[in-house]
Amino acid sequence: MAYRHIAGRDMGGETENSMSRTAGQNPSPRSIPRGGTPVYLVALASLIAHLLTAGRYGFHRDELYYIACGMHPAWGYVDHPALTPLLARLAVALFGGSLVGLRLLAALAAAAVIVLTGQIAREMGGGRFASALAAVAVAVGTIFVSAGHLFQTVPFDQVVWAVAALLLAHIVARDDGAGWPWLALGATLGVGVHTKSTVVALGVGIVAGVLLTPMRRWLRTRWPWLGALLAAAIALPNLLWQATHGWPTLAFSRNSAAAYWHGRSPALFLLLQPVFVGVGGFALACVGLWWCFSARGRRFRAFGWLFVAAVVVLLAARGKEYYPAPAYLPLIAAGGMAATGLFRGGDRALPAVHPRRAARPPRPYDARRAAVRAGRGQRRADRLAGVGRDRQRGVPTTAARRASARANPDRELGRGGRGGLLRRAVRVAARHQRPGLILPVGAR
């Protein structure tokens, strides 16, 4: 159990803290089980599947192109930034001309996206079911499967979006005033500029999510602005390369979009979203979008505006249909939260309070051990603390214990007085985590 290390201590500060937790306060972060084992298993299965099929056919033309660009390092290229060619150069240095070695990086990126999506669901307050459901939806999504099968800019761009979404969820969920997530978010956006130009849509989406939700109060602090400066500093080399070469990426994107969108319409762009994201993932994302704009998920409404703004930007820029796919990742995680309420007992799994303050469900193994221990010590703890007597009388525990302690402290504490018997009661109650247990006034 998480509190075993305090069960045998005396009536010091640590025991008082453990007793205050039993009265309804949130446990420490170490006592909250992570429950990420199913997510890691899904990611491992995805990684193995990609590696087993990585060498079934030869190099893709884009893979050869990135290898060639990696032989001529630069801060930018006409149709893509510098990170992917550098990774191709690293793969060649490590694995030579191995096709599986080259695609290993893409497979690792795909597995990382699965794990990050599960962690986003955890930050939103979800348990094992929510995170595992979101991970499975990403693992079988069309664009996410194909991204991990070819060495391109797409899998690494998805990692950037997933990391940014996780940091944003951390900021919203914890709300502890820490500034490091904003700096990490700025660094992620700066690295994203060197990954794929679609990171501009991510930046616009984050700005929209901050301005249109209560997150805008952060703008009165220095951390979002420092994060923006850090992002600009990291992206500066690529911007200088673009400026000195006449912004070739903008010209390439304009010409490519004109050729690609010839005979296409925005309606087709929207209709193909379930095809690229996957029917299950798209349905889960729709539920997540509704959940973000509902009363229960209003704390994470920034992700709803992020998605809307990103899709509008990519549609206005006439991007390809799979470009908005990374924006679905936080919505899939939110959909896992909403689906948890449908399949696992309704509102019990959806925290109505701050996710950091909501106690997460214990692991089954710990729950069984706690039940065995509670069965052995239940009667003794109730007799020593007087909880059973208060329950039989129908009197609230707090009022009954205080009144009884003031009226006859010797009878409440037993014949042993305020010595070892009371300390044993404290240790037994701390070991079994009795909710609602109130000690006598003199014992505090």
Quick one: which H or E segment has residue 417? none
Q: Are 18 and 430 in contact (CB under 8 A)?
A: yes
Residues 6+ away with beta carbon under 8 Å from 53: 149
- Can you list the residues of the chain whose pLDDT is less than 50? 1-34, 345-360, 362-363, 365, 395-396, 412-419, 434-444
pLDDT at 174: 84
Contact 282, 328 (CB under 8 A): yes
User: Would you say the C-alpha torsion 348, 350, 354, 360 has a positive or negative sign?
Assistant: positive
Give the pLDDT confidence score for residue 375 in this predicted structure: 60
Q: Name residue 384's amino acid.
A: L
Distances (CA, A) of 294 to 88, 135, 209, 283, 300: 44, 23, 15, 17, 10
Please report the pLDDT score of residue 272 as a whole number: 93
Which residues have C-beta within 8 Å of that of residue 37, sequence separation ≥ 6?
128
Quickly count: other Cβ atoms within 10 Å of residue 259's Cβ.
7
Place of tokens 């820029």: 317
Query: What's the pLDDT score for residue 430?
Result: 59
Residue 379 burial (10 A CB sphere; 0-12, 13-18, 19+): exposed
Write the DSSP symbol of residue 97: T
* pLDDT one-digit tens code per residue, 379-390: 555 555 555 555
CA dihedral 65, 71, 72, 78 (to 10 degrees): 20
DSSP string for 219-284: GGSSHHHHHHHHHHHHHHHHHHHHHHTT-HHHHHHHHHHHHHTTT--HHHHHHTHHHHH-HHHHHH
Residue 377 pLDDT: 60
- pTM as predicted: 0.71
Q: What's the half-sphere exposure (Cβ side, CA atoms, 13 Å) at 341?
A: 15
Give the DSSP per-residue string, 45-70: HHHHHHHHHTTSS---HHHHHHHHHH
CA 265 to chain centre: 35
**Plot region of 177 (φ>0 → left; ψ -120 to 50 → alpha; else → beta):** left
Contact 281, 324 (CB under 8 A): no
* The predicted structure's pLDDT at residue 33: 37
Cα-based angle 130, 334, 123 (whole degrees, multiple of 5)? 70
What is the greatest pairwise CA distance in the chain? 91
